[in-house]
Amino acid sequence: MNNNEYNRNAMDLLGKLYSGGRSSEVDTADNINADLPLEQRFRPYSLSGLGVALEYQRMGMRPVSADLEEKAARFGYEFEHLAVTLGTVIHNIDLKDDLTDEQISFIRQTLLERKVIFFHDQNLSEDQQVEFGKGFGTLDAFPFGPPGENPYLFYIHHNENRPGSENNWHTDVTWMENPSLGSIAQVDVAPPIGGSTLFSDSHAAYLGLPADLKERLQHVHGINDYRVFMRKYPEELHDEIKQKVPFGVSHPLLRTHPETGKTALYVHLGFVRQDALFDIRTGETLPIEECRDIIRQINLQHMREEYVCRFTYGTGSIAFWDNRAVQHYAASDYWPHERVLRRVTISGDRPYYDPSQSP
Ligand SMILES: [Fe+2]
């Protein structure tokens, strides 16, 4: 068939489909969908679009509350939102200043509403970073180092001979009984290009799961441990380590955010024992095929673009994320360049799932 014949046929078919004119499909969809709940307006294969829409609806159809916007204006701060439901750069703020309680509370509220927040050109010293972190709670030392001069800092240093390796979706330190509320990371050496961290909205990711999977996950827990770090310590210390830091803690795959009440998908695939997910009601391990199916589906979920924002660091940029609300992924795309990041983590509480709170 030549091109002329093909186009004639295509237009003939179009005429049969759209006899009412070009915009008739949109008009028809408007009429049909006007009274439908959001769940029925999205196609079944576009659940990630639905997840973000449901989360945005819950946020009052705006990136931040009017209250927060008014406070930002009062302080002279400017918001730059990176994605619809998460990720905001706060401009015109210097974290080296002695922050007032109102400013700390503003930052905390922005973190709760936006899940991950960013600051450029801060260049905090180690001690200043620790002080800033303490504004939000007590800090957790990281036993698997390397530390800074200040032991509450954990350094992540990559270069030509040790390329970036945090390129998997995760939330931090789920091997802890009380995993950290949030992490504050400053980049001291930024690669000239690349080296971004991606963040994914664990609330929207939960909302966009198929209904049957949401249902199945309600009672599923996993055992999390730090086996991947054990090789850093000599064998003869392993017993002592396990005595000092509990090895193997149970956490739900769905987590209720203790401050917002929202449900999040909560898992670190490197720490959870993937073949031994279990039903908390009976204590019984799920069949291996079911474990694999669940892991496969939730692993895919955070990768979907609709849930993701991407932040590129300059030297002295800071990312502050809520480990109860987002997962993150450090792109390992900057070889052979150097990237040095240092992090503090704020103490959190024991994860739980309470289905009676909002979905
Ligand atoms: Fe991390």
- DSSP line for 301-323: HTTSGGGEEEE---TT-EEEEET
Q: Is 354 helix (H, G, I), strand (E, B) or coil?
A: coil
Is 41-359 in CATH node 1.10.1040.50? no
Dist. CA 31 → ligand 1 center (Å): 46
Q: Is the confidence at residue 139, as pLDDT, over 70?
A: yes
pLDDT at 21 over 80: no
Centre of ligand 1 from the C-alpha of residue 172, in Å: 5
Q: How far is the CA of 183 from the centre of ligand 1 (A)?
A: 8
What average pLDDT does range 29-38 have in this prediction? 80
Is residue 210 pLDDT above 90, yes or no?
yes
Residue 271 Cα to ligand 1 middle (Å): 12
In the reported structure, the alpha carbon of residue 1 is separated from the centroid of ligand 1 by a whole-number distance in angstroms of 56
Closest CA to 345 of 193, 196, 191, 144: 144
Which spans in 118-235 are helix H? 126-134, 202-207, 211-217, 227-230
> Edge-to-edge strands of the sheet including 249-252?
249-252, 220-224, 278-279
Separation of 324 CA from ligand 1 center, angstroms?
13
What's the one-letter identity of residue 78?
Answer: E
**Reported confidence tier of residue 19, pLDDT bands at 50, 70, 90:** confident
Contacts within 8 Å (CB) and 24+ apart, 127-135: 128/95, 128/96, 129/153, 129/184, 129/186, 129/342, 129/344, 130/344, 132/95, 132/99, 132/184, 133/184, 133/344, 133/345, 133/346, 135/99, 135/104, 135/107
Q: Give me ligand 1 centre to Cα 148, in Å.
A: 17
The mean predicted confidence, pLDDT, of the chain is 94
Q: Please give the distance, rounded to the nearest whole angstrom, from the Cα atom of residue 63 to the centre of ligand 1.
A: 25
How many CB atoms lie under 10 A from the CB of residue 165?
10
Q: Report CA(171)–ligand 1 centroid distance (Å).
A: 6
Q: Mean pLDDT throughout 63-84?
A: 98
Rounded distance from Cα 322 to ligand 1 centre (Å): 11
CA of 21 to the centre of ligand 1 (A): 53
Q: Which residue has the higher pLDDT, 32 or 295?
A: 295
DSSP bridge pairs for 250: 223
Cα(109) to ligand 1 centroid in Å equals: 22
Residue 32 has pLDDT above 80, yes or no: no
**What's the pLDDT tens digit per position in 264-312?**
999 998 999 999 999 999 999 999 999 999 999 988 999 999 999 999 9
Give the pLDDT band of residue 150 (cuts 50, 70, 90).
Answer: very high
Q: Is the pLDDT of residue 20 over 70?
A: no
Beta bridge partners of 198: 310, 329
User: How remote is the CA of residue 69 from the centroid of ligand 1, in Å?
Assistant: 29
Q: Find the 14 Cα to ligand 1 centroid distance in Å.
A: 51
Going by pLDDT thresholds of 50, 70 and 90, the confidence category of residue 26 is low
Average pLDDT of the segment spanning 40-60: 94
CA 194 / ligand 1 centre spacing (Å): 17
* Confidence category of residue 358, pLDDT binned at 50, 70, 90: confident
Distance 77 CA to ligand 1 centre (A): 28
Q: What does the alpha-carbon distance between residue 253 and residue 217 come to, in Å, rounded to a whole number?
A: 7
Yes or no: say if 208 and 47 are a contact pair by the CB < 8 Å rule.
yes
The pLDDT value recorded for residue 16 is 86
Q: Judge whether residue 189 has pLDDT over 70.
A: yes
Distance 46 CA to ligand 1 centre (A): 28
With cut-offs at 50, 70 and 90, classify the pLDDT of residue 15. Answer: confident
- Interval between CA 184 and ligand 1 midpoint (Å): 10
Q: At what angle do helices 66-75 and 101-114 cross, to 10 degrees?
A: 140
Question: Ligand 1: distance of its center to the CA of 250 in Å?
Answer: 19
Ligand 1 centroid vs 82 CA: distance in angstroms? 20
Find the 291 Cα to ligand 1 centroid distance in Å.
24
Percent of the chain having pLDDT more than 70? Answer: 97
Going from the Cα of 164 to the center of ligand 1, the distance in angstroms, rounded, reads: 12
Distance 61 CA to ligand 1 centre (A): 30
Q: pLDDT for 160-183, tens place per residue?
A: 999 999 999 999 999 999 999 999
CA of 36 from ligand 1 middle (Å) equals: 40
